[in-house]
Amino acid sequence: MAPSQPIRLALLGTGLFARDAHLPALNALAGTFEVVAIYTRDPASRAALEAARQVPGEVTLTDDLDGLLARDDIEAVDVVWPIQRVAEGVERALQAGKHVISEKPAATSVAEGRHLLAQYAGHPGQVWMVAENWRYEPAFQQAAELIAGGALGRLLALDWIAHVAMAPQNPYYGTAWRREGAFMGGYLLDGGVHHIAALRMVAGEIAAVSAAVTQHRPDLPPSDTLSAALEFENGALGVYGITYASGSPWPPSLRVVGEAGALRVHHHAIEITGEDGHTRRIEIEGRSGIQNELAAFAAAIRHGTPHANTPAEGVQDVAVIEAIIRSAESGQRVAPERVIGAKKS
């Protein structure tokens, strides 16, 4: 297929995030992608019909995954399945010779992640990208660039505390699979890999964790709250804490302190203070991480352009969450397993 033509893509899944995030981003990249098929277990369901209506062109709704993956006119697959099924989607799409972008986390555990990395190594020429949109959010990208450029000098300390009310009014509370306790950490993995991805991008590799984890609410199994002390390879120390059991009016932000200044970042702004005490604010317009990561996926397919969301990076994010949970279980300081080094773009 000529490089100038859109990438013909199949979407696996018609859930909330597929409809609210992936399809609008794919539509915004209409000259880059063409959604030609959608897999769903129930093509007559309200969610499936709504997803099909969002596609501007002709699209096939099907419950025949084997038939969809056998189509030679489909180049790429976007896996937007529940966390516990993503590995299946990735493996089947790779085996069918398709390029793959799959929703985060990369896997439900490091062991599953290593299995997928081994499978991926057997498919040279194919792209598998993990859809970790926070690595493509402009605010965190710019913060990482500022720190890498020496704006804060040597990093000393950082903290990130968030309170997210996962209650019935939150649309993601309604996705029952998130509340079944069927995968490690529950919401701590589901949301936590976002935070870990951003922390690692901004502040560097995490060498060890010491953590406590608990479950305050019975409807948020297996755990809904964590507090972790982080040790970074560059010598910085950090605190990461989050609860999904209740919210607060204070917006979460990552604060980083170095020998030459301090920085605070959230999705919509960066505040950076120099040694002279002067603070400047960089406004960030909107959130574009999903569209940006899909554009990077296309560039990797068409031009071999390296991207930030390699599967190894995604599994390393999982490794940090897994280390936090193991630390809480054992009461010991735990070093996350090292996965980085098995990269392939």
Give the β-pairing of 269-274 and 279-283.
antiparallel
Measure Cα distances from 87 to 9, 107, 195, 290 in Å.
19, 6, 21, 20
- Does this model's pTM top 0.75? My answer is yes
pLDDT of residue 181: 82
pLDDT of residue 1: 46
Average pLDDT over residues 328-342: 91
Average pLDDT over residues 163-187: 88
pLDDT band of residue 343 (cuts 50, 70, 90) is very low
Indicate if the pLDDT at residue 287 is higher than 90: no
For the chain, how far is it from start to end, CA to CA, in angstroms? 21
CB contact set of 180 (below 8 Å; sequence gap of 6+): 221
Q: Tell me the domains of the chain and their CATH numbers.
A: 7-133+290-308 (3.40.50.720), 135-285+321-330 (3.30.360.10)
pLDDT digits (tens, 9 = 90+) for 229-259: 999 999 999 999 999 999 999 989 999 999 9
pLDDT digits (tens, 9 = 90+) for 35-69: 999 999 999 999 999 999 999 989 999 999 999 99
Indicate if the pLDDT at residue 345 is higher than 90: no
Nearest to 9 by CA among 71, 67, 51: 71
